[in-house]
Structure 1
Amino acid sequence: MRTTIGYTVESIGYVVGAQGLVSFVSRTFFGTEWGWLHNVVDLPSTAYLGIVVVGLALIVGGVKTRKAPERQEAA
């Protein structure tokens, strides 16, 4: 079960982080809107960096959950 949850959280982290990065780069360097995140929320450019950090935190949390050793039940 931990493996499934870890992969799910990690996958969500990749999507959130990528969308945050794409939104930051597109607004900062090109003045346009890329990705779908701008359709959900209207944030300033620097706030999208916070979205990237949230994505990275989800990735790290997913990897730690996935790699956590299973507990042995005492009989």
Structure 2
Amino acid sequence: MRTTIGYTLESIGYVVGAQGLVSFASQTLFGTEWGWMHKVVDLPSTAYLGIVVVGLALIVGGVKMRKATERQEVA
């Protein structure tokens, strides 16, 4: 079960991080809105970097959860 939760957190982290990165890049470099994140929240471009960090934290948390479960199964 923890392995499934780890994969789920990791997958959500990839989506959230990618959307934050796309939103930041589109606002900063092109002055337009890309992705779906701007339809959910209206943030300044620097706040989308915080969304990227949240995505990275979810990825790291999911990987650690999976690795801990795999180590318990081996032992």
Task: Return the TM-score normalized by structure 1.
Answer: 0.92
Q: Give the gaps of 5 or more residues in structure 2.
A: none
How far has the Cα of 1:46 moved from its partner?
Answer: 0.1
Whichever structure has more helix as a proportion of its residues is: 2
Kindly report structure 1 stretches of 4+ aligned residues shifted beyond 4 Å.
none
Residue 42 of structure 1 is matched in structure 2 by 42
Q: CA deviation at 1:70?
A: 2.5
Aligned to 1:14: 14
Larger radius of gyration: 1
**How many residue pairs end up in the alignment?**
71
Aligned to 2:24: 24
> RMSD over aligned Cα, in angstroms?
1.0
Identity of aligned residues (%): 86
Structure 1 unaligned regions, length at least 5? none
- Structure 2 equivalent of residue 70 of structure 1: 72
Question: Could you tell me how far 1:2 is from its partner in structure 2?
Answer: 1.2
TM norm structure 2: 0.92
